[in-house]
Amino acid sequence: MSRQVWKGSTLLNPEPPVLVSCGPAGAPNLITVGWCGTICTQPSMVSISVRPERYSHHLIKESGEFVINLPTESLVRAVDWCGVKSGRDVDKFSAMHLTPSPAAKIGTVLVEESPVNLECKVTQVIPLGSHDLFLAEVVAVDVDERLLDESGKLCLWDKLGAFIDAPADKQEITIAQIMTHTAGFPPGLHLWQLARTPEQSTELILAAPLDFQPGTRVQYSCTGFILLGQLLECLYGLPLNELALQEVFWPLKMKNTSYLPAGGNIASTEMQDDGFCLTGVVHDENARFLGGVSGNAGVFSTMDDLALFVQMLAAEGELPDGSRYLCPATVRLSMQNRTPGMAQGRGLGFALPWYENGYTGDLFPKETIGHTGFTGTSFSYDPTTGLYLIFLTNRVCPSREGTAIFRVRRLLHNAVYAAASV
């Protein structure tokens, strides 16, 4: 093979261009950047190259901030046009009918129509000749929730009918509706009495009439979460207990959290009619009928392990060793109130318990997220202050009839928040 030798040039082009937003929120600008790349993973860092004479150059240099907005097919014209027009002469957002939205962690804006936005803080500017190289740390990633399908198997807006042979009234129920308890499933069915086998429980849940039109109100439903757990088992090809270990407990280093716990250091729960007290066995009858592994009950944990989970949420998905378990956008999405105007606030699996007589008492703010357990367990996390409270009891021992836990929870939350606020 014969070769010619040319003078050095940037023959790596074409590279995928991006839209970079910059400047103050009141007067933002857009620039098309063709030279953009990843330079480091820990910390997450990127680079863009901009000519000093470009209008955006001084905006980025003065603020030390910019956002990389990944384009889609619908943004092709905007990417092309913004690359040949100057922000000195025209408002590019207005001209291209794009929406500037406030970034989460920095002072500039992102392009709402872009599905993924990387919020960047400049760490170094290196003059290289025709271009200056901006090195920047990615401090946040904003992701369109419609893209949140991290496993490639399940998405919030997927419908039951896409995975199982559901009756007509349940075909359109979404995963998000099940997670927010707005799907209409009844609170509970006595599956341990109605089903001949654990496998038949799915049929009974799907056959049961809905209590209301999906998406119209909140009703806590163990039934819906039992179905969700069974759906995950089918999709992943793993028992729910193994899936939880593999995808949640082990990555978070929750060493004492599992279904079907072994060992003797486990609190007892309800006394049975024969005088035997359940220990290390799930209290819920449906979950016990399903082998102790269910989407609604059966997980045993400790104070220390639950603290690891809450701390991960507080760090927006980052673990103490600097690795990432969830992206910040996913964590924020899970905490958002997805049932505005309804009697109870619900995130994705979380309660936003500011409704009347909520277990978080009177002082924790409305942004608080958390959950309770029938056996007397609960956790709360206030993202505005970073304060979290974990409360573990076995209040059903010896009997489930006790109701003092409801008042105790509220009083405890008030006392802790008041003490932390001094």
Write down the residue that tokens 């992701």 correspond to.
143
pLDDT at 271: 77
Low-confidence ranges of the chain (pLDDT < 70): 1, 4, 9-15, 41-42, 145-154, 353-357
| Residue 63 pLDDT | 95
Residue 410 has phi, psi (to 5 degrees) of -65, -45
- What is the model's pLDDT at position 141? 84
Domains 145-245+280-298 and 302-422 share a fold: yes
Nearest one of 380, 101, 360, 355 to 220, comparing CA atoms: 355
Q: For residue 295, what are the CA distances in angstroms to 59, 195, 292, 368, 375?
A: 51, 17, 10, 23, 16
What does the alpha-carbon distance between residue 167 and residue 187 come to, in Å, rounded to a whole number? 19
Answer yes or no: are the C-beta atoms of 396 and 382 closer than 8 Å.
no
CB 203 within 8 A of CB 194: no
Would you say domain 145-245+280-298 falls under CATH 3.40.800.10? Answer: no
In angstroms, what CA-CA distances link 28 with 87, 100, 113, 125?
Answer: 9, 8, 15, 21
Domain boundaries, the chain: 18-143, 145-245+280-298, 302-422
Residue 142, classified by CB atoms within 10 Å of its CB into exposed (0-12), middle (13-18) or buried (19+), is buried
CATH 2.40.50.100 corresponds to the domain 302-422: no
Q: What's the predicted TM-score (pTM) here?
A: 0.65
Return the number of other C-beta atoms located less than 10 Å from residue 244's C-beta: 22
DSSP assignment of 81-127 equals HHTTS-TTT--HHHHTT--EEE-SSSSSEEETTSSEEEEEEEEEEEE
Q: Which residues pair with 18 in a beta bridge?
A: 33
Neighbours of 92 (CB within 10 A): 23
Residue type, 264: G
Contact status, residue 36 vs residue 47, Cβ threshold 8 Å: yes
- Give helix 222-236 / helix 200-207 axis angle, nearest 10°: 130
Report pLDDT for 398.
Answer: 82
> What CATH number matches the domain at 18-143, 3.40.50.1820, 3.30.300.90, 2.30.110.10, 3.40.50.300?
2.30.110.10
The closest alpha carbon to 130, from 10, 18, 5, 32, belongs to 10
